[in-house]
Amino acid sequence: MTRLQELGDRIDRREARIGVVGLGYVGLPLVVEFAKAGFRTTGFELDGEKVRQLKAGRSYIEDVSADDVKKFRASGHIDATTDFAELAEMDVINVCVPTPLTKTKDPDVSFIVRAVEDIKTRLRAGQLIILGSTTYPGTTHELFVPILEQSGLQVGTDFSVAFAPERIDPANKTFKVRNVPKVVGGETPLCTDLSVKVFEKIFDTVVPVSSSQSAEMVKLLENTFRAINIGLANEVALMCDKLGLDVWEVIDAAATKPYGYMKFQPGPGLGGHCIPVDPTYLSWKMKALNFTARFIELATEINGHMPDYVAEKCGHILNEERLPVNGSGILVLGVAYKPDVGDMRESPALDVIRLLQERGGRVSYHDPHVPELHLEGHGHHEAAVLKSVDLTDDALRSADLVVIITNHAEVDYDRVVRLAGRIYDTRNACAKVKEGREKIRKL
């Protein structure tokens, strides 16, 4: 029996040691799921604070139960370390490091490169390495594997490699890690089989595809589909504005069609680590092949313009009250990129606040999930930290305009509308409010 076949048996007996590199929104839930399935799991992280929290049995991610971390830490199923030498002891290593864009909006795969370099120096025969970070088609085959093979070992015979895209949706109450099917594509059929074996222990359904490139493309198709359809919803919102129609009513009515239509909603712009970023990984790769990804470029342009449109609209609404943006008190309600999370990555609120500040607006914000907001320096504004203000009666009454950017569930929108003078609702958060609707302007 070869070392790789032996690994299959160790996985089935749940004796395989599982490593997870990068303990963020994706990595930490994965650690907990493997621990739940009975595997001894070790997280590898550069950020010593995250390691300290886990070692102390604490969770630092809203969706990950602190009780689970505590329980599996106590039972010895969860460990965490900044010492990458321990990678050598792992049988399966999942890589879940960030894949952002550079300042010039190109893919930044430097985190993947650093992680795989760290693995390479400890690589041994029989290991299975699975890349989960979203990236362009070809990363696993053309970048990841060649670095690992610098060790002198060969993929498919000495060690295995697969790409398995992550589909986690933070704050989703229905779809958790286990009940979202897991797609996986290996470098060889054996790499795929071993990955399926390991993922079957923590996912209800595993979907093998024929190659790592195909698995990489699956993820980009999913998120490009979302970005483009949100782009369409945003453009329809702009059209409805010109036509004097309520886009929310139009979309809700269209969504009653039982087939051939899928509901997407407009908003103040795209946010999060995935939807604004991932399509650019695909269009960048296609550019190198002399192909222009036109749908992606158009959606990126429309979605990227939404914060400007929202800031512009705030100016129009204040103007109707004979108020200039300059000097007006503008309270931004919700700044996280989506409801019920505290994640600020790529949040359109950052752009809206910056644009309003540039025009002299006195901007404050309230977000129950984001106590502090770090604004980068821009124009003649220096970098600054804003603190979430309490949503007091006075804060609502004294604002010249309340702009709802994120529709967090715990905010009492009836009260907001009752107390505020003017509301610009970019999320239809006030859909159910009955009294005072004349004060609301919708996207």
Ligand X SMILES: NC(=O)c1ccc[n+]([C@@H]2O[C@H](COP(=O)([O-])OP(=O)(O)OC[C@H]3O[C@@H](n4cnc5c(N)ncnc54)[C@H](O)[C@@H]3O)[C@@H](O)[C@H]2O)c1
Binding site for ligand X (CB under 6 A): 21-27, 44-47, 50, 96-99, 111, 114-115, 133-134, 166-168, 170, 273-274
Return the DSSP state at 407.
-
Question: Nearer Cβ to ligand X, position 24 or 38?
Answer: 24
How would DSSP label each residue in 218-239? HHHHHHHHHHHHHHHHHHHHHH
Neighbours of 32 (CB within 10 A): 26
Q: How far apart are CA 398 and CA 169, in angstroms?
A: 36
Residue 161 Cβ vs ligand X, minimum distance, rounded to whole Å? 17
Q: How far is the CB of 69 from ligand X (least distance, A)?
A: 15
CB nearer to ligand X: pick between 170 and 334: 170
Residues 348 and 439: their CA atoms lie apart, in Å, by 24
Look at residues 112, 110, 71 and name the one whose alpha carbon lies nearest to residue 94: 112
Which residue lies nearest ligand X, judged by its C-beta? 24
Residue 222 tokens read as: 């999913």
Shortest distance, position 97 Cβ to ligand X, whole Å = 4
Compare residues 144 and 248 and give the one whose CB is closer to ligand X: 144
Give me the least distance between CB of 253 and ligand X, in Å please: 31
CB of 222 to ligand X, least distance (A): 9
Helix (H) or strand (E) holding 386: strand 384-387
Residue 280 CA to residue 107 CA, distance in Å, equals 7
User: Coil, helix or strand for 368?
Assistant: coil
Nearer to ligand X, 79 or 425 (CB): 79
State which residue, 120 or 418, has the beta carbon closest to ligand X. 120
Is 191 assigned a catalytic role?
A: no
Nearer to ligand X (CB atom), residue 168 or residue 190: 168
End-to-end CA distance of the chain: 63
Bridge partners, residue 386, by sequence? 373
Q: Residues 96, 191, 240, 274: which is the catalytic one?
A: 274
As measured in angstroms, the least distance from the Cβ of 318 to ligand X is 35
Nearer to ligand X, 167 or 422 (CB): 167
Which amino acid appears at position 18 of this protein? I
Contact 78, 115 (CB under 8 A): no
Query: 10 — phi, psi (to 5°)?
Result: -65, -35
Q: 3-state SS of 243-305?
A: HCCCHHHHHHHHCCCCCCCCCCCCCCCCCCCCCCCHHHHHHHHHHHCCCCCHHHHHHHHHHHH
Closest to ligand X by CB, 22 vs 208, is 22
- Compute φ and ψ for 42, nearest 5 degrees: -120, 130
Strands 423-425 and 401-404: parallel
Write down the least CB distance from residue 70 to ligand X, Å: 20
Minimum CB separation from ligand X for residue 141, in Å? 17
Supply the DSSP symbol for 412. -
Q: Nearest-CA neighbor of 274 among 99, 45, 23, 20?
A: 99
| 437, amino acid identity | R
Contact (CB, 8 A) for 404 and 428 = no
Catalytic amino acids?
274
